[in-house]
Amino acid sequence: MIGYRMTVNILLILLAVPSIALDKQTAEQGAVAAARDIVRGVEEKRPDLILAHVARGGIPCVDSVVTREHVEKDLKTRGSWYYAYFFEPTDFNERFRDAAYPTSLAERVTKGGELSYRVRFQQYPKLPPFNFPCVSITSRQIKGKEGLCFFHEHGKWWLRDGPNCD
């Protein structure tokens, strides 16, 4: 039987490991659950549900980082890119739509009908194979897809390489 002290020590060790290799099924389920949390945040216009998947260090992009503070401020500011992308599809289409983002997640969620989720994995040398999933969100009514990419760290799924990393 494992004692309380040993259980606490094991938990502390697991939390100290930044990224544990995951199996494909666990990674797919976790990434889709995170994407659905974000979609629920869009449906309910709740920035907190989106911010729950933005790491303390922000959203890592290819050559930069969008800080958590920036994302948080924008999610609460009408007229900002993040607010429009997640909550105001008409504003997004009028002010921000471009080739990289032809539709907002808000438009897909509110006008696209039933959503489908599909996971693909990005591979990086010397890193676990299933820790970097991207979830494509599609619908029948709106062409194309919205993608949310994640990384797994400390038992949680965090946004990366997306939206507005360009």
Confidence at 69, pLDDT banded by 50, 70, 90: very high
pLDDT, position 38: 97
Residue 92 has pLDDT above 90, yes or no: yes
Domain segments of the chain: what residues? 22-160
pLDDT, position 5: 42
Residue 53 near residue 37, CB atoms below 8 Å? yes
**Amino acid letter, 130:** F
Average pLDDT over the chain, rounded to an integer: 85
pLDDT, position 161: 87
Looking up tokens 């995951």, which residue turns up? 22
Q: How far apart are the first and last CA of the chain?
A: 52
CA 163 to chain centre: 9
Residue 81 has pLDDT above 70, yes or no: yes
**Amino acid letter, 148:** L
Domain spanning 22-160 has what CATH number?
3.10.450
- Mapped onto helix, strand or coil, the DSSP state of residue 16 is helix
DSSP codes joined into one string, 64-80? -EE-HHHHHHHHTSTTS
pTM score of the predicted model: 0.83
pLDDT, position 9: 35
- What is the C-alpha separation between 23 and 128, in angstroms, rounded? 9
- pLDDT tens-digit map of 107-142: 999 998 899 999 999 888 887 778 889 999 999 888
Confidence at 166, pLDDT banded by 50, 70, 90: low
pLDDT, position 20: 64
60 vs 4, which has greater pLDDT? 60
* Vertex 114 angle, CA 120 and 82, to 5°: 70
For residue 106, give the H/E element and its range.
Answer: helix 105-111
What is the DSSP-derived secondary structure letter of residue 135? E
